[in-house]
Amino acid sequence: MDVTTSLSKEQLTKMYYDMWIIRNFEENLLDLYQKNLAYGGMHVSVGEEAIAVGACANLKREDTIVTSHRGHGHCIAKGADLKGMMAELLARKDGLCKGKGGSQHIVDMSVGVLGAQGIVGAGCGIAVGSALSFKIRGQKNVCVNFFGDGAANTGSFHESLNMAALYSLPVVFICENNGYAVSTSFARSTKIDKISVRAGSYGMPGVTIDGNNIFEVYKTVGEAVERARQGDGPTLIEAVTYRWYGHYVGDPCTYRPPGELERWKEKDPILFLEKYLLANKLCRQEEIDGLKAAAGKAIAEALDYALASPEPEPADLFTDVYFEK
């Protein structure tokens, strides 16, 4: 079935809006960071929005995700509260983690966001644990694990895929291969051309897709999620993409060859969907402009909320550290 015709106008415009929400959120963060209003390590995913939105469009609220240090987009796409997220990154008391988690430790259990992880590859094991829990309790839910190409060279990745396959766990591993692990190119760190071929070593399907094509992401992840939900085990998906900004905010990106960023900007995933909506007369230009404006307004409201929120008190440092009955 042609996935483009299986999606309604409402679904497509929501995907378009959600991608603009993620981009606006992160581009505002870049500005806030420069103004010393956002704290801690910051890693944005501008240019990679189609993976987060296309993947999470297949998930139910009760499904879970585990993400990496570059996880703002995944959390937003899964339904994390925008105002709470913005407040969290500005280290305010009304943040999702009361301002104490920051960019790399965002959690929103109410929508199945089990957390971002500051340690590369650490999320793989947590995702397997979530999937094992679903299986033991007989729940038809799925965990999606987002990570980068650098994580695919860690021991945690291999151990997690082995266990997930061995017990046929309902987990979908999505490797966002953006070409660089910090400043080391994929070609210099990995002998194989495609990370997805590693899936065969563990007895699960593996596929490489265009991560900037939201239709391809939605279809491939949808099939993997359904397979997992039916008890047929995990899948490894490698989504090839590119981050427009550096590994961290402030990274000068001197390791990139000239012209590479410009070539990838021509494959902007948001512009890709916009052209589809206009070419197939699903939206008029006025509707497109309205969706962009609505996304900008939502982020502005989230920022106002965050700026109005107080900072945590020094005594708050000692709360929420241990579980208390």
CATH 3.20.20.80 describes domain 3-309: no
Give the span between the Cα atoms of 139 and 314, in whole angstroms: 41
Give the span between the Cα atoms of 48 and 52, in whole angstroms: 8
Give the span between the Cα atoms of 104 and 69, in whole angstroms: 5
Q: Which tokens belong to 236?
A: 């490894």
pLDDT digits (tens, 9 = 90+) for 214-233: 999 999 999 999 999 999 99
What confidence score (pLDDT) does residue 77 get?
A: 98
What confidence score (pLDDT) does residue 322 get?
A: 84
What confidence score (pLDDT) does residue 321 get?
A: 83
What type of residue sits at position 236? L
**pTM to 2 decimals?**
0.96
**Contacting residues for 94 by C-beta, under 8 A, at least 6 apart:** 83, 84, 87, 305, 306, 309, 310
Give the span between the Cα atoms of 3 and 263, in whole angstroms: 27
Where are the domains positioned within the chain?
Answer: 3-309
What confidence score (pLDDT) does residue 6 get?
A: 86
With CA atoms as reference, report the closest residue to 217 among 142, 144, 156, 284.
144
* Residue spans of the chain under pLDDT 70: 1, 5
From the CB of residue 318, how many other CB atoms can be counted at a distance below 10 Å?
Answer: 8
